[in-house]
Structure 1
């Protein structure tokens, strides 16, 4: 017998299971950090966490301070004080009051997404070429890259007061100015020193170091230790994609 989602949720509550944060109660002052997977969302969460909290964030507490709706329970997120900064990979949702949507070149996304899936055992013993074909067809979690991105970009044109879009590449080129632009949109007023401290604490070198220091006690403990979650942060598609793959992905997404 197939149980409909709402009944599943009720059953979980009755049995005291952890209800995923995607069922949280949306507040009018919530700020959502949204992206297609592997597009810079975790980096953005670290930037916010290292700015908003005096003791910063690490992979030990990132999910409780700047919660992930897939890893943090509804109860935990609902217990946070406002304004909350929350991570999501969901497609366009008109209910969200304030959204920072970050998106990245799909040629780099497909590479990063492949390694993420291997690290978290979403796929096993699958070649990159096989994963590439699935990505092109949208046969991966969260579907086709272009559908996800275009949905949010179209909405941002209609509701610029609610949705700010920024590319991963723009944020990487000048992280201070990019983050300052995001903070202005979120109506957060911080001085230059605090912002720069958050930027420095959220560098890829610092995040990579933090991953190694915390992996035994964080959510990385049960993942493949031979694959880093924080890899290089650099564009790799020119050296990783074959000519055939490059032609396919360029044609698919009109690059």
Structure 2
């Protein structure tokens, strides 16, 4: 019986016991172990991009040709994957969560909140959201709060996780050195040559082209919409109204400035 059919037709404890025999474990934010590394960012801050980088860096997979399914299996999303196999003692997982007591080692992904907000608005529209960008920016998720709430919570870091700050813009501008920083933080080997190879295999354009050709392993994502959309620094300047930008900055100005982003 296939995994999907098992999950659909059996009680969770029965499924879990059967899958455990084959090395699978439940996946959730609560299941992250202290030895694991979580790369955590507000939505549309480069989290999916980092899945490809980490799968390449940590497991040696050429993600320019590997399927999205392999990447999701190796570097699971705690919000999407129900069961995962632990391929190494230390796992690297993707998360949007606010600080959690069991998240002991964290790569905090940050993107200019105005760009992230615009990208998230297009993402949500593709999934059926009918409201305005202004309405969406004040939406307060139990998982990841607002952009400014998420930024403030991880700046506060109330559980004192070991934390590395990674800015989306620096990853775009200086991928090789940022990949070397990630490697050092997660305990992976990355020579300058290897970091250069990974940077070339995980550029935004490579991932975007691969998505066009092969799609994503996400049954909920519309096949006629592009997940890797623009990836451009400063995209809010031609996609966010002056009024919306001001409203966002009124709420998030301190966090934006703290991360080195200039206010408009």
TM tier relative to shorter chain = 0.7 to 0.9
- d(CA) in 1 for partners of 2:246 and 2:29? 40
Contact 1:20 1:71 in 2 (8 A): no
| Residue among 52, 68, 73 paired with 2:77 | 68
Contact 2:77 2:94 in 1 (8 A): yes
| Aligned match of 2:53 | 47
| Aligned match of 1:90 | 97
Write the mapping of 1:101-112 to structure 2, written as runs, cut at 5 A.
101-112=108-119
| Aligned match of 2:150 | 148
Task: With the length of structure 1 as denominator, give the TM-score of the two structures.
Answer: 0.81
| Aligned match of 1:118 | 125
| Aligned match of 1:178 | 178
Q: Cα deviation per residue 1:199-218 (whole Å; 9 max; x = unaligned)? A: 11100111011112222xx4
| Aligned match of 1:6 | none
Q: RMSD value over aligned CA atoms?
A: 2.6
- d(CA) in 2 for partners of 1:222 and 1:93? 27
- d(CA) in 1 for partners of 2:185 and 2:13? 40
SS where residue 121 of structure 2 aligns?
helix
Q: CA deviation at 1:20?
A: 5.9
| Aligned match of 2:5 | none
Q: Cα deviation per residue 1:171-204 (whole Å; 9 max; x = unaligned)? A: 2221111121222222323211111111111001
Contact 1:41 1:87 in 2 (8 A): yes
Q: CA deviation at 1:140?
A: 8.7
Question: How many residues get paired?
Answer: 234
SS where residue 51 of structure 2 aligns?
helix
Distance 1:64 1:105, change over 3 A: same
Contact 1:115 1:227 in 2 (8 A): no
Contact 1:68 1:87 in 2 (8 A): yes
- d(CA) in 2 for partners of 1:247 and 1:206? 34
Q: Which runs of 5+ in 1 are unaligned?
A: 1-10
| Aligned match of 2:257 | none
Q: Cα deviation per residue 1:102-141 (whole Å; 9 max; x = unaligned)? A: 011111111110121133x2x34x25xx133232343696
Q: CA deviation at 1:159?
A: 4.0
- d(CA) in 1 for partners of 2:136 and 2:42? 15
Write the mapping of 1:1-255 to structure 2, written as runs, cut at 5 A.
12-14=11-13, 16=15, 21-22=27-28, 25-57=31-63, 58-74=67-83, 76-77=84-85, 79-119=86-126, 121=127, 123-124=128-129, 126-127=130-131, 130-138=132-140, 142-155=144-157, 159=160, 162-215=162-215, 218-220=216-218, 222-235=220-233, 236-254=235-253, 255=263
SS where residue 208 of structure 2 aligns?
helix
- d(CA) in 2 for partners of 1:106 and 1:115? 14
Q: CA deviation at 1:234?
A: 0.1
Q: Cα deviation per residue 1:41-89 (whole Å; 9 max; x = unaligned)? A: 1111111112223332332322101111122223x14x33222111111
Q: Which moved more, 1:38-47 or 1:65-74?
A: 65-74
